[in-house]
Structure 1
Amino acid sequence: MTWFILFSLLSIGLILILTEIIFVPGTTIIGVLGVIVSAAGVYYSFLSFESSTAWMILGVTVLINFLALIYGFKSGVWNKFALKDSITGGSFDGRLTGLEVGMKGRAVSDIKPIGKAEFLDKIYEVKSDSGFISVGSIVIITKLGDNRITIKN
């Protein structure tokens, strides 16, 4: 029964340390728990066995945990969890395509100073240079840039 308890404590400690390294890196709570459980197993071995056996168990435990640590870093497990793709598009890419300064459209909402206007059968969010513009008014694009459409009445 003593060997079972010792083996259980050391195994649980090793599993927690590997879990910290492989599955939840950076949290440190699971790794610290693993070290505590492993230390409890070593302490239990010093209480239950002769000194020479307990020192041998300590050495084997440290060696196995160190090898597990090395395996965790060299196995390439990190590559499975690492983000390798990046987002290249923007939120409004191509939004202003087809629009030109001087183009006429129609306000589809009150523009005070921001609202919606229709150009080329599409509705765009616009900003007014001339203040309030009521629904249905004809508007003209005065400026395009930075994904913004500036209009006047």
Structure 2
Amino acid sequence: MPWLTIALLLLFGLLFVAAEVIFIPGTTIVGIVGFALLAVGVWLGYRDLGTPVGHYALAGVIAVAGLIVYVGLRPKNLARVALNSVNDASVQDVRRPDVAPGTVGRTLSALRPAGTVLFGTDRREVVTRGEFVASGSEVRVLGIEHNRIVVAAA
């Protein structure tokens, strides 16, 4: 019965190595477990079944594991799991204000001290320096402070 244990250790060791190289590369834990199972299986083969069987087990494990690594690390196979497309999209940088200082807009809500202002066709949340501005009033942008548009009545 020791031959069944050794065969299962070697089989599962090779399956874990194949899973590491082909299916889930980069996890390392699965590969370490696979190599540990292979080492224990070869060691038990030498101990329980003798030197010739141990040599056959070692040669077979080296050949099959080498084939798995070769097949798994071919550039064609790596291209299937690698990112090949380039993302050249951009986002608006918050450090570049889209409403320039001095721009005039009309309040859509009362500013107490924060509210909504319409600049052309763009709605923006704005704040005042503490004063109340009624709805429908014209306001002028004073500047951008900490990602907030600061306005005052025009």
The Cα of 1:143 is off from its aligned counterpart by 5.2
| 1:108 aligns to 2:74 (yes or no) | no
Per-residue deviation, residues 31-57 of structure 1 (Å, max 9, x unmatched)? 111111111211221123221221221
Could you list the structure 1 runs, at least 4 aligned residues long, displaced by more than 4 angstroms after superposition.
147-150
Per-residue deviation, residues 79-104 of structure 1 (Å, max 9, x unmatched)? 222233425121579x949x894333
The Cα of 1:106 is off from its aligned counterpart by 1.1
The Cα of 1:12 is off from its aligned counterpart by 1.0
| 1:34 aligns to 2:30 (yes or no) | no
Structure 1 unmatched runs, 5+: none
Aligned residue pairs total 149
Match in the other structure for 2:80: 80
Q: What is the TM-score normalised by the length of structure 1? A: 0.72
The 1-side partners of 2:14 and 2:5 are apart by 14
Output the aligned Cα RMSD. Answer: 3.4
Equivalent AA in structure 2 for residue 105 of structure 1: R
The 2-side partners of 1:82 and 1:135 are apart by 57
Q: Aligned pair in 2 of structure 1 residues 104, 10: CA closer, same or farther (>3 Å)?
A: same
Match in the other structure for 2:133: 134
The 2-side partners of 1:76 and 1:5 are apart by 36
Match in the other structure for 1:70: 70
